[in-house]
Amino acid sequence: MIIRHAKGVTSKQARTGWPEGTYEDEHGRDGFAGEVSMLYRAHPPTRWTGIEGPLKPRAIDSAAVRPTDMGDAAGVPTRLLYNDDVHIYVSRRRAPMSYYMRNADGDEIYFVHEGTGTIESDYGPLEYETGDYVVIPKGTNYRVVPGSPDNFFIIIESRKGPTGFPERGMLGQHVPFDFALLQCPDPQPILDEGGEYQVRIKRADEWTTVYYDFCPLDAVGWTGNLCPYKINVRDLRAPYSERTHMPPTTYATFQCPGFWVVTFQPKPFETAPDAERVPAYHRNVDYDEVVFTHSGRLMSRAEDQGAATLTLHPAGMHHGPNPRAFEAAKKADRMEAFLVNIDTEKPLKWTDAFTGAEDPNYWATFSDRLVPVAP
Ligand SMILES: [Fe+2]
């Protein structure tokens, strides 16, 4: 439907010149791409006095999670959130994996929050560093070999199909990044024999171990279009407008069946006098939104949340600027932040590890009427 109505007190154009005393609330379908109306409200819809039920906004300190791979070379990452399409894990691996991994449940997107090292695979080694996305296709034999003791990964497992890239359409081929930046490995076979080598295969979250007396990473060459690859967030160059606030989809990095991975990145604030710098309130009724803070903070927040904070905003529940974000955005020239945003079509469930690291007051930070309670 292309007909646009304008009833009552509205701005001339969304995202600019909110009428005095109003708060813009985006009511849209299909994330930020579908039919939409902007409502101009007399109160922020997040000025709640209480919430009961599963849609409460949640936040955890993911650095407080202690995966078994943190202290055990044979350990595994810890799952935090999941649905049929995507599982999200944290890994703190300090020592080289004592086994080779083959994930038969899905592709894995490793986001390197901290650390350096190498991911050895059938296709050859890929060195990683802080800020890298490393994509490992379903079924690849691989092993993570940390080069520093501080490795911290968020792993996004795509269970319904391969990792792809959003359509770029009118943006052309070089925005939000040049595909030539994707790096893939050169073969480097490990021709060790003797000893025992394990390949642990994960299928339907159950493990099968295969034993060899030679290293399984013995491919002397490869040809095709399926392989691990990486790109660093500093190489992303999302489009920007000085006259209007761009929607989150502008920053989309990967698209997988049932979810998107979006990278919020440093940008100057809008400079047009009537451009709103903070996002509208929204209830993103078709997607759950997960945001992992790599560095800095979103323009919708006035206070730092701390690196490694991971938030969950379930579909249907409002979120948006917290009470002091409007003033904070006026004083700053830029948003200096990298954040990994995962938007899922299906509702996410959370694990005990997630709730064990939860900030019980997060939901209250959106409302200036609430005084946080002691945890
Ligand atoms: Fe959002």
Domain residue ranges in the chain: 46-60+237-366, 66-233
The alpha carbon of 282 and the centre of ligand 1 are apart by a number of angstroms equal to 7
The alpha carbon of 128 and the centre of ligand 1 are apart by a number of angstroms equal to 29
The alpha carbon of 319 and the centre of ligand 1 are apart by a number of angstroms equal to 6
Name the pLDDT band for 3 (thresholds 50, 70, 90): confident
Q: 172: Cβ–Cβ under 8 A, 6 or more apart, which residues?
A: none
The DSSP secondary-structure symbol of 251 reads G
Name the pLDDT band for 375 (thresholds 50, 70, 90): very low
Q: What is the pLDDT of residues 128-178, one digit of tens each?
A: 999 999 999 999 999 999 999 999 999 999 999 999 999 999 999 999 999
What pLDDT, on the 0 to 100 scale, is given for residue 300? 80
The alpha carbon of 287 and the centre of ligand 1 are apart by a number of angstroms equal to 9
Q: What is the pLDDT of residues 296-305, one digit of tens each?
A: 988 788 777 8
For residue 191, which phi and psi values (nearest 5 degrees)? -95, 45
What pLDDT, on the 0 to 100 scale, is given for residue 329? 84
The alpha carbon of 291 and the centre of ligand 1 are apart by a number of angstroms equal to 9
What pLDDT, on the 0 to 100 scale, is given for residue 1? 61
The alpha carbon of 281 and the centre of ligand 1 are apart by a number of angstroms equal to 8
Mean pLDDT of the chain: 94
Most confident stretch, 7-11, 331-335, 364-368: 7-11
CA torsion 240→24→334→316, rounded to 10°?
-80
Annotated binding site for homogentisate: 319
Q: What is the pLDDT of residues 184-194, one digit of tens each?
A: 999 999 998 88
Pairing mode, strands 23-28 and 281-282: parallel
What pLDDT, on the 0 to 100 scale, is given for residue 38? 96
The alpha carbon of 71 and the centre of ligand 1 are apart by a number of angstroms equal to 35
Tell me the percentage of the chain whose pLDDT exceeds 90. Answer: 85
For residue 152, which phi and psi values (nearest 5 degrees)? -145, 110
In the structure, ligand 1 is a single-atom ion and the residues with CB under 5 Å from it are 289
Residue 25 near residue 39, CB atoms below 8 Å: yes
Kindly tell me the sign of the dihedral angle through the C-alpha atoms of 267, 272, 273, 274.
Answer: negative
Name the pLDDT band for 309 (thresholds 50, 70, 90): very high
- Domain 46-60+237-366 identical in fold to domain 66-233: yes
Give residue for tokens 């849609």.
55
What pLDDT, on the 0 to 100 scale, is given for residue 323? 82
Cα 336 to Cα 257, 293, 358, distances in angstroms: 30, 12, 25
Question: What is the C-alpha to C-alpha distance for residues 95 and 145, in angstroms, rounded to an integer?
Answer: 7
Q: Is the pLDDT of residue 371 over 60?
A: no
Residue 21 near residue 1, CB atoms below 8 Å: no
Active site residues: 245
Name the pLDDT band for 332 (thresholds 50, 70, 90): confident
Question: What is the C-alpha to C-alpha distance for residues 256 and 317, in angstroms, rounded to an integer?
Answer: 24
Name the pLDDT band for 93 (thresholds 50, 70, 90): very high
Looking at domain 46-60+237-366, its CATH architecture is Sandwich (2.60)
The alpha carbon of 270 and the centre of ligand 1 are apart by a number of angstroms equal to 19
CATH topology of domain 66-233: Jelly Rolls (2.60.120)
Question: What is the C-alpha to C-alpha distance for residues 348 and 310, in angstroms, rounded to an integer?
Answer: 14
Q: Is the pLDDT of residue 373 over 70?
A: no
Name the pLDDT band for 374 (thresholds 50, 70, 90): very low
The stretch 298-324 carries a mean pLDDT of 89
The alpha carbon of 261 and the centre of ligand 1 are apart by a number of angstroms equal to 13
Annotated binding site for Fe cation: 282, 288, 319
Q: What is the pLDDT of residues 107-117, one digit of tens each?
A: 999 999 999 99
Residue 79: HSE in the Cβ half-sphere, 13 Å Cα cutoff = 12
